[in-house]
Amino acid sequence: MNTPILEVSDIQKYYGNKGNITKAVNRISLSVGKGEFVGIMGASGSGKTTLLNCISTIDTVTSGKILVEGKDITTLRGKQLSAFRREKLGFIFQDFNLLDTLTAYENISLALSISGIKAKEIDKRVQVIARALNITEVLEKYPYQMSGGQQQRVAAARAMVTNPALVLADEPTGALDSRSSHMLLDMLEELNQNLSATILMVTHDSFTASYCRRILFIKDGKIFNEIHRGAKSRKEFFEEIMEVVSVLGGETNDRG
């Protein structure tokens, strides 16, 4: 593994008050290197979304440190926090979260214009990312005029266009049919390989997870297992994931 982009060391997240504490994240440590495509799997309530929220600074940790490019982000406040989000992170949400008053182009350019980038530069970068994600022809359309797959690709373009250190994807295929899921995941894999984007994806779906290079399994707020794809084909990797999932006792998925 090369230099780590993300280092999570010994974080905990508790909910509730004295006498009634839920440990959503219980002493998790992990590390993600540059250009990795890491999946986090776990059943509902295992703490995977809480973990992602802590990394994305949407939520705060109870204890522990999260380093992004060597900088502790758990102590960031106010302006630094928003600067961190727009410069270092890219988000892909389950329900796309595009602004429906804006066109696809404007949704993507917004991520750049809030960082104060010049109009000329914005146009160039939007066109480049649109070509890479094959959405050039829908740029002038509004979200409600596009299919779900197109919307999610626009959302991915928005996440990628700022060249973030880390792309966080929260169940990105959750609202897509299997064909669109397939396309989106191919695209994420491509982004990872060609543009060497670092992607951290949370999912409960084994098929989606099988696109990752490495998978961390979480159960009851702790890391339960870790598997690498290595030289295995995606199909073989999927079988391996299914095995772990059955041990975990989570839901199964017979697609593949």
Partner 1 sequence: MTEGKLIIRNVRKNIQDYMIYFLTLTVSVSMFYAFNSIQTQPALNDLDATKQLLSDQLGILLSALSVVVAVVLAFLILYANQFLLKRRKKELGIYTLLGMEKGKISRIFAGETLCVGILSLVFGLILGLLLSQGLSIFSLRLFAIDMSKFQIVFSMSALKKTIGCFVLIFLIVMIFNVRTVSSVKLIDLLTASRKNEVMALRNKAAQISLAALSILCIVSSGVIIQHYGILPSRENSWFQIAVVLLAAGTALFFFSVSAVLLTAIQANRKIYLKGLNTFLSRQIGSKVQTDFMTMSVVCALLAISICGISVGISSALTMNETSKASLPYDLNVVADIDVAGETDIAAYLKSRDVDMGIYADSIAQISLYEAEITYGDLFEGQDLNLWHIDSDIPEVGVSVVSISDFNRALAAQGKAPISLADNEFLLNCNYKGTLQYIDSFLQSCTEIDLNGTILQPGGKKPLGETVLMTSVGNNDRGTFIVPDHAAASLTKDINILLVQYKPGINTDEILQKMIPIGLEWETEGYRYTEKIMLSSMYYGSCALLVFLCCYIGLVFLLICAALLSLKQLTETADNVYRYGLLQKLGTDSRLLFGALFKQIAIFFVVPLLLAGMFSAFGIGKITAIVEEFLNMHISTNIGVTVLMFLIVYGGYFIATYLSCKHMVMEKQIEELEV
Contacts with partner 1 by CB under 8 A lie at 56, 58-60, 78-79, 82-87, 89, 91, 97, 99-102, 106, 109-116, 118-120, 122-123, 142, 144, 158
In angstroms, give the least distance from the CB of 28 to partner 1.
20
DSSP string, 127-138: HHHHHHTT-GGG
∠ CA 201-180-248, nearest 5°, is 40
Which CB sits closer to partner 1, 103 or 181? Answer: 103
In angstroms, give the least distance from the CB of 45 to partner 1.
14
Which CB sits closer to partner 1, 67 or 117? Answer: 117
Tokens at 159, concatenated:
């996440």
Which CB sits closer to partner 1, 116 or 230? Answer: 116
- Type of residue found at 99: L
In angstroms, give the least distance from the CB of 12 to partner 1.
17
In angstroms, give the least distance from the CB of 228 to partner 1.
31
Report CA torsion sign: 149, 186, 117, 123: negative
Tokens at 180, concatenated:
């669109």
Which CB sits closer to partner 1, 87 or 186? Answer: 87
Which CB sits closer to partner 1, 18 or 120? Answer: 120
β-strand 222-228 against 214-219: which pairing, if any? antiparallel
In angstroms, give the least distance from the CB of 52 to partner 1.
12
Give the residue ranges of DSSP H helices in 161-201.
178-194
Which CB sits closer to partner 1, 84 or 224? Answer: 84
Tokens at 69, concatenated:
């490019």
In angstroms, give the least distance from the CB of 88 to partner 1.
9
In angstroms, give the least distance from the CB of 161 to partner 1.
11
210 within 8 A of 223, measured Cβ to Cβ: no
Which CB sits closer to partner 1, 120 or 179? Answer: 120
Stated as kind and residue range, the H or E segment containing 63 is strand 63-68
β-strand 199-203 against 214-219: which pairing, if any? unpaired
- Type of residue found at 97: N
Report CA torsion sign: 119, 124, 125, 131: positive
Distance CA 174, CA 229 (A): 22
